[in-house]
Amino acid sequence: MSATTENTVHEMAAQKYKYGFTTDIAMEEFPKGLNEDIVRLISAKKSEPAWMLDWRLKAFAMWQKMEEPHWARIHHPPIDYDDLYYYAAPSAPAPKSLDEVDPSLLDMYEKLGIPLNERAALAGVAVDAVFDSVSVATTFRETLSKAGVIFCPISEAVREHPELVREYLGSVVPVADNYFAALNSAVFSDGSFVYIPKGVRCPMELSTYFRINAKNTGQFERTLIIAAEGASVSYLEGCTAPMRDENQLHAAVVELVALDEAKIKYSTVQNWYPGDADGKGGIYNFVTKRGACRGRNSKISWTQVETGSAITWKYPSCILQGDGSVGEFYSVAVTNNFQQADTGTKMIHLGKNTSSTIISKGISAGHSNNTYRGLVKIMPGASGARNFTQCDSLLIGDQCGAHTVPYIESRNMSAKVEHEATTSKIAEDQLFYCRSRGLSQEDAVGLIVNGFCKDVLKELPMEFAVEAQKLLSVSLEGSVG
């Protein structure tokens, strides 16, 4: 590192998190702590049928017997699960339409750049806004229902579409899949439900915007997306949280099901509060995301840009059951200051001629640690399966860590698996070249990092790509070196 570069590092203030404000709104919170009564309360609050409550209670019983996993390269003080609120929601009755939504909430989403007013909304994007434990608004529902698409809060789907929810909920991520999934299954409060019927190409992008606002509150959203035969959908997810000194827990579960010839594209820009420059505060993000390519020639594509959270523990995966099915994972994970990310994917090849692609770009700066962890598993029946994995890490500064932990298992000789990984730093000559053409140090780093991530960013829907690029630069502010 040059002296100038070094100086810039110190001169830069702590990174700016522009979504760190809080919103004052009358809230209803359940008592702190987790027990069967809380699970029952959540279920009752949502007016759930008995089967749903039974499912939750079963999950809770299993969770109590499980232990928090510690195999990931992350370190944190023990989480006191009894010191959290498991339900927090605006106390006003649930709005029936956008006109009834509390204006301070609408203002807040406006500030986040997510106008919920349909006229002002991003063209072609329907939004479900989840605020702490509840969905506060879902836009463009009529437009979608004309096409036969169901897009609603999952709490509503449990009541209105029980046959679909019962068939698919927990079918990709079983209740006892892992500690955090079991916890989520017991206490999930809201999230989005999407059903694209046979042959329908969803007429617009669907999007859920998650916001944690309340203090000491865990957010446990649950998302279930089903694309029936020949259907296709592109789904976007965004998340932010206020700056708070305490760590907050986020343990979501996302399940995707693609039937014959169906396609699901799931994009995430994860920008939960990452904590301050000294590592204080920030979200603990323990998320289970998994898609099942059940049908032949089905396709599930995960794209994620992970810049937020103090801790990220997340492995969006694909189970490639259907012959000819395709799984993709495109990821950019940026860690700065004291952030820790342990993220990657699993591609489980079961069907014939299944193929998967993994492109992972990890960028570590500050004192952070960034780990790619992935599994490619070719089962004996997966004749003709293909996998290509490319994972690249970029280090900025000499106090951070970049780690790559791939597992590759092949039990079929006709399968072809290729894996490549590299680790490097931002080249001084690239920086110099940019600066000699007039770019500031910050801009030069932003430019180079964006170039490094290009293969992933190009997979994002247009509306998100620009935002994601900006986010990358912002996340790395103060790290340059």
Partner 1 sequence: MPGWKPLEMTALPTRKLEAWRYTDLRALSAMSFGEVPNPPAPVLPDLALPRLVFLNGVSSENLSSAVPYARGFEAVAEPSAEPLALINAAHAQQGITLEIPAGVDAGTVLLISQAGGTVPFAFHPRHRITLGAGARLTIIEIAKGDGVYWHNPVTDIVLQDGAKLEHVRLQDESREAFNLSTIRAEIAENAAYEHFTATIGAKLSRTEIHAALLGTNALVHLNAAQLLTGTQHGDFTSVIAHKAPNCASRQTVKSVLAEKARGVFQGRIEVARVAQKTDGYQMNQALLLSPDAEMDIKPELEIFADDVKCSHGATIGALDNEQVFYLRSRGIPEAEARSMLIRAFLEEALEPVAQADAKALLEAEIETWWVKQ
Q: Is 269 in the site for partner 1 (CB under 8 A)?
A: no
CB atoms within 10 A of CB 277: 16
Q: Is 7 in the site for partner 1 (CB under 8 A)?
A: no
* Least distance CB 156 / partner 1 (angstroms): 43
The count of residues interacting with partner 1 (CB under 8 A) is 35
Q: Is 176 in the site for partner 1 (CB under 8 A)?
A: no
Q: Which residue has the tokens 């103060």?
A: 478
Going by C-alpha positions, the residue among 255, 342, 240, 261 that lies closest to residue 302 is 255
- Per-residue x/- track, 352-381, partner 1 (CB under 8 A): --------------------------x-x-
**Of 225 and 402, which has the nearer Cβ to partner 1?**
402
Q: Pick one of 243, 408, 439, 465: the residue that binds partner 1 (CB under 8 A).
A: 408
Q: Is 417 in the site for partner 1 (CB under 8 A)?
A: yes
With a CB cutoff of 8 Å and minimum separation 6, the contacts of 64 are: none
Q: Pick one of 76, 411, 458, 470: the residue that binds partner 1 (CB under 8 A).
A: 411
Q: Is 410 in the site for partner 1 (CB under 8 A)?
A: yes
Which DSSP string do the residues of 458-481 spell out, in sequence order?
A: TTS-HHHHHHHHHHHHHHTTTT--
Q: Pick one of 161, 198, 403, 435: the residue that binds partner 1 (CB under 8 A).
A: 403
* Least distance CB 320 / partner 1 (angstroms): 17
Q: Using CA atoms, how far apart are residues 330 and 267, in angstroms rounded to an integer?
A: 9
Q: Is 406 in the site for partner 1 (CB under 8 A)?
A: yes
- Per-residue x/- track, 61-90, partner 1 (CB under 8 A): ----------x-------------------
Which SS3 state, helix, strand or coil, does residue 244 take? coil
Q: Pick one of 40, 166, 425, 435: the residue that binds partner 1 (CB under 8 A).
A: 425
Strand segments, DSSP code E, in 271-325 are 282-293, 299-306, 311-314, 317-320
CA 462, 466, 467, 471 dihedral sign is positive
**Of 280 and 403, which has the nearer Cβ to partner 1?**
403
Max intra-chain CA distance, the chain? 68
Q: Report yes or no: 472 and 456 within 8 Å, Cβ to Cβ.
A: no
Interface segment toward partner 1; rule CB under 8 A; list 284-292, 331-339, 406-414, 447-455:
406-414
Q: Is 413 in the site for partner 1 (CB under 8 A)?
A: yes
Q: Report yes or no: 82 and 33 within 8 Å, Cβ to Cβ.
A: yes
CB atoms within 10 A of CB 159: 15
The token pair that represents 109 in the structure block: 């989403």
* Least distance CB 17 / partner 1 (angstroms): 24
Interface segment toward partner 1; rule CB under 8 A; list 33-41, 55-63, 394-402, 455-463:
394-402
The residue ranges that bind partner 1 (CB under 8 A) are 71, 378, 380, 393, 395-425
